[in-house]
């Protein structure tokens, strides 16, 4: 059997970062920056007031309380050249440019608020309440580096340095296709021998949570031709495909039956539990990566975490590897099969981790009640309560 690490290494060696694309900054949320972004101007672009108050010469208010004539107002947005001479002040608003000659702002709270003359009760030292040009960013400084994930604050600074468009690696578009003659759309009645289809919903959501675009292609029956036709129709909009089901050892395994003859997708057993039957390869003229995950819901979820999520990071040009782990002390004894790495659904609570009681790969409710996976190495078959274990937080 292939190890989990070798399977992931093969996937990461095969996937490529998506080609960069210029997008409107409004559309960049969740994408990864594909260029360094520098500011063409200093930020702030000019010295301006940090408060509503009066622009003064500090030396004129050193002997406060003093009363001085107010020669005008400077509001935010004023582009005119304002100046004050000795013994004079202007009112000034937050964000307004400092008048020439002024070297401090006296907050309105330190004054009587006068408009013709103002009584200033406290001295202000030079530079008081002034935001200096360039104190956030100097002209030419890089504010965001290639490889940064674009969140709301990153969109803010893109706009703040005057950008309307930006070069990004787009969120990969991932089509999720379930297979199984037993599958019924949730929201419709359940016939005998049938179950509601859950994997495509779960996996499409996992894709979105991983920063990519997840599209449900719904589900097909166990007919390999129907599977292949649906896959072909979906490929035009896919940077990657995830399938669920139809890759085990039984009969009626449409994914395996349809893709094996292509010779571009490899089906194999990976030494893990849950999730042993795995397939990966490329399909279509554009050689779109395809992950054929096992159908048991917990298996497909764990497979996503271990293999698909890192691949989606690589496709976004982000550093990619096995999921990050933490260490914790297990609160109950554990059993694990010889020769397989197991991923036990568990509740991580600070320094301790408790396996949940139902560990079957079909027990999706137990997964939904878990927040972590305990990783038990291949050569370990049991662990006592109190053992330190590696845990993947979910
Ligand atoms: P398979 O991998 O197709 O042999 O399916 C393994 C098990 O997972 C079977 O019990 C299926 O009914 C179940 N299963 C497969 N696909 C789904 C799905 N999309 N949603 C829920 N259960 C599924
Ligand atoms: Mg099936």
Q: In this predicted model, what pLDDT tens digit does every residue of 61-95 receive, in sequence order?
A: 999 999 999 999 999 999 877 899 999 999 999 99
Which atom of ligand 1 sits closest to the CA of residue 200?
19
| pLDDT given at position 81 | 77
Identify which of 122, 61, 115 has the alpha carbon closest to the alpha carbon of residue 87: 61
Q: In this predicted model, what pLDDT tens digit does every residue of 309-354 receive, in sequence order?
A: 999 999 999 999 999 999 999 999 999 999 999 999 999 999 999 9
Q: What are phi and psi of 174, to 5 degrees?
A: -120, 120
* Band (32; pLDDT cuts 50, 70, 90): very high
- The DSSP letter of residue 13 is H
Across the chain, mean pLDDT equals 97
Tell how far the Cα of 243 is from the centroid of ligand 1, in angstroms: 11
Residues 280 and 15: their CA atoms lie apart, in Å, by 11
Which of 198, 244, 255, 269 has most ligand 1 atoms within 8 Å of its beta carbon, as the pocket-test mutant?
244
% the chain with pLDDT above 90: 97
| pLDDT given at position 156 | 98
Q: Looking at ligand 1, which residue's alpha carbon is closest to its atom 15?
A: 295
Tell how far the Cα of 335 is from the centroid of ligand 1, in angstroms: 25
* Band (151; pLDDT cuts 50, 70, 90): very high
Identify which of 353, 362, 358, 363 has the alpha carbon closest to the alpha carbon of residue 383: 353
Q: In this predicted model, what pLDDT tens digit does every residue of 35-55 receive, in sequence order?
A: 999 999 999 999 999 999 999
% the chain with pLDDT above 70: 100
* Band (251; pLDDT cuts 50, 70, 90): confident
Ligand nearest to the CA of 181: 2
Q: In this predicted model, what pLDDT tens digit does every residue of 252-263 receive, in sequence order?
A: 899 999 999 999
Strands 388-393 and 372-376: antiparallel
Whether 294 lines ligand 1, by a CB cut-off of 6 Å, is yes
pLDDT higher than 90, residue 218: no
Tell how far the Cα of 237 is from the centroid of ligand 1, in angstroms: 25
Q: Provide the 3-class DSSP secondary structure of residue 315.
A: helix
Residues 210 and 312: their CA atoms lie apart, in Å, by 7
Tell how far the Cα of 198 is from the centroid of ligand 1, in angstroms: 9
Tell how far the Cα of 343 is from the centroid of ligand 2, in angstroms: 22
Q: Looking at ligand 1, which residue's alpha carbon is closest to its atom 10?
A: 296
The residues that bridge with 195 in the sheet, in sequence order, are: 183
If you count them, how many residues does the chain have? 394
| pLDDT given at position 337 | 96
Residue 187 contacts by C-beta under 8 Å, 6 or more apart in sequence? none
Whether 273 lines ligand 1, by a CB cut-off of 6 Å, is no
Phi-psi region of 32 (alpha: psi -120 to 50; beta: other; left: phi over 0): beta
Which of 274, 296, 301, 367 has most ligand 1 atoms within 8 Å of its beta carbon, as the pocket-test mutant?
296
Tell how far the Cα of 334 is from the centroid of ligand 2, in angstroms: 30
Tell me the CA distances in angstroms from 47 to 99, 131, 139, 160, one per residue in order.
Answer: 9, 6, 14, 16
Residue 273 contacts by C-beta under 8 Å, 6 or more apart in sequence? 336, 337, 340, 341, 342, 343, 361
Overall average pLDDT of the 87-104 stretch: 97
Ligand nearest to the CA of 295: 1
Overall average pLDDT of the 95-103 stretch: 97
Whether 344 lines ligand 1, by a CB cut-off of 6 Å, is no
* Band (249; pLDDT cuts 50, 70, 90): confident
Identify which of 4, 126, 152 has the alpha carbon closest to the alpha carbon of residue 55: 126
| pLDDT given at position 40 | 98
Tell how far the Cα of 299 is from the centroid of ligand 2, in angstroms: 13
| pLDDT given at position 211 | 93
Residues 346 and 356: their CA atoms lie apart, in Å, by 5
Neighbour-count burial of 125, counting CB atoms closer than 10 A to its CB (0-12 exposed, 13-18 middle, 19+ buried):
exposed
Residues 31 and 34: their CA atoms lie apart, in Å, by 9
Phi-psi region of 171 (alpha: psi -120 to 50; beta: other; left: phi over 0): beta
Ligand nearest to the CA of 182: 1
The residues that bridge with 137 in the sheet, in sequence order, are: 43
Residues 191 and 182: their CA atoms lie apart, in Å, by 9
Residues 87 and 269: their CA atoms lie apart, in Å, by 85
| pLDDT given at position 293 | 98
Overall average pLDDT of the 379-384 stretch: 97
Tell how far the Cα of 293 is from the centroid of ligand 1, in angstroms: 10
| pLDDT given at position 141 | 97
Sheet harboring 53-56: ordered strands across?
104-107, 53-56, 89-92, 66-74, 117-120
Q: Looking at ligand 1, which residue's alpha carbon is closest to its atom 14?
A: 295
Whether 305 lines ligand 1, by a CB cut-off of 6 Å, is no
């Amino acid at each position: 059997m292939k190890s989990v690490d070798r399977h992931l290494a093969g996937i990461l060696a095969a996937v490529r970062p998506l080609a960069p694309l210029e997008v409107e900054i409004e559309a960049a949320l969740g994408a990864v920056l594909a260029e360094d972004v520098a500011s063409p101007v200093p930020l702030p672009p000019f010295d301006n007031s940090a408060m509503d108050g009066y622009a003064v010469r500090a030396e004129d208010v050193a002997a406060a309380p003093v009363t001085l004539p107010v020669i005008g107002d400077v509001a935010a947005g004023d582009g005119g050249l304002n100046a004050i001479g000795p013994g004079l002040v202007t009112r000034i608003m937050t964000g307004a440019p400092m008048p020439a000659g002024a070297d401090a702002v006296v907050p309105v709270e330190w004054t009587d608020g006068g408009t013709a003359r103002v009584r200033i009760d406290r001295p202000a030292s030079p530079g008081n309440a002034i935001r200096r040009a360039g104190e956030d960013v100097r002209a030419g400084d890089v504010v965001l580096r290639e490889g940064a994930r674009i969140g709301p604050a990153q969109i803010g600074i893109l706009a703040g340095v005057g950008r309307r468009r930006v070069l990004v690696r787009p969120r990969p578009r991932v089509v999720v296709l379930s297979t199984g003659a037993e599958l019924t759309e949730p929201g419709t009645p359940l016939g005998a021998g049938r179950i509601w289809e859950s994997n495509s919903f779960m996996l499409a959501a996992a894709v979105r949570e991983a920063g990519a675009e997840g599209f449900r292609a719904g589900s097909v029956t166990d007919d390999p031709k129907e599977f292949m036709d649906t896959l072909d129709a979906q490929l035009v909009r896919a940077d990657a495909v995830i399938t669920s089901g139809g890759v085990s050892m039984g009969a009626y395994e449409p994914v395996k039956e349809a893709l094996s003859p292509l010779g571009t997708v490899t089906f194999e057993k990976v030494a893990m539990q849950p999730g042993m039957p795995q397939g990966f390869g490329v399909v279509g003229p554009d050689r779109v990566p395809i992950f054929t995950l096992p159908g048991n819901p917990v298996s497909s979820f764990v497979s996503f975490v271990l293999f698909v999520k890192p691949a989606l990071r690589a496709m976004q040009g982000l550093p990619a590897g096995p999921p990050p782990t933490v260490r914790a002390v297990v609160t109950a004894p554990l059993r694990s099969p010889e020769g397989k790495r197991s991923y036990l659904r568990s509740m991580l609570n600070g320094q301790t981790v408790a396996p949940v009681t139902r560990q079957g790969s079909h027990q999706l409710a137990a997964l939904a009640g878990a927040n972590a996976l305990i990783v038990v190495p291949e050569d370990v078959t049991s662990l006592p309560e109190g053992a330190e274990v590696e845990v993947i937080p979910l």
